Amino acid sequence: MLAWLHTNETLLWWLGALSALTFAGSLLAVPWLAVRIPADYFLHRHPVFNAHDAAHPLLKGLVVALKNIAGVAFLLLGIAMLVLPGQGILTILIGLILLDFPGKFALERRIIEIKSIHRGIDWMRKKAHRPPLILPKESKKQ
């Protein structure tokens, strides 16, 4: 094991630097994204209108492809950070948010219904002078 560490020292430095960069980026990205969610986002059965929905089909396809590539990259980095220094679970969640897959909106609703997560996001929104997120009536049973 020690011999492998010495032979792959450069790789380990790059992984450490990438982990630190992703950690710093996630500390900035999570609050920035949380305050930009419309307050009634989770009241709709389907996600609300996205700005790129009205774009030219080629531009829309490019945006979706780039967003999914970034999502896969964050997902893989998050998995790596489960054993390397950094915010592995947070980075995995950012990756999932960026990815487009069936059932994503339902997964987002289930995650936001967790009381501690909802409370934390509302705290960030309050600091940014934004209204709290409104959840559907059936999710307020906790």
pLDDT in 10s for each residue of the chain, 142 residues: 778 777 888 888 887 887 788 778 777 877 887 888 889 888 876 655 565 566 788 888 888 899 899 889 888 887 887 887 667 777 787 788 889 888 888 888 888 888 988 898 899 899 999 999 998 875 554 4
Instruction: Report the distance separating Cα 54 and Cα 57, nearest Å.
Output: 8
CB hemisphere CA count around 67 (13 angstroms): 13
**The two structure tokens encoding residue 91:** 């980075």
Domain assignment of residue 60, given as a range? 2-141
Task: Work out how many domains the chain is built from and give that number.
Answer: 1
Nearest to 53, CA basis, from 63, 45, 44, 43: 63
Sign of the CA dihedral running 142, 103, 74, 47:
negative
pTM: 0.62
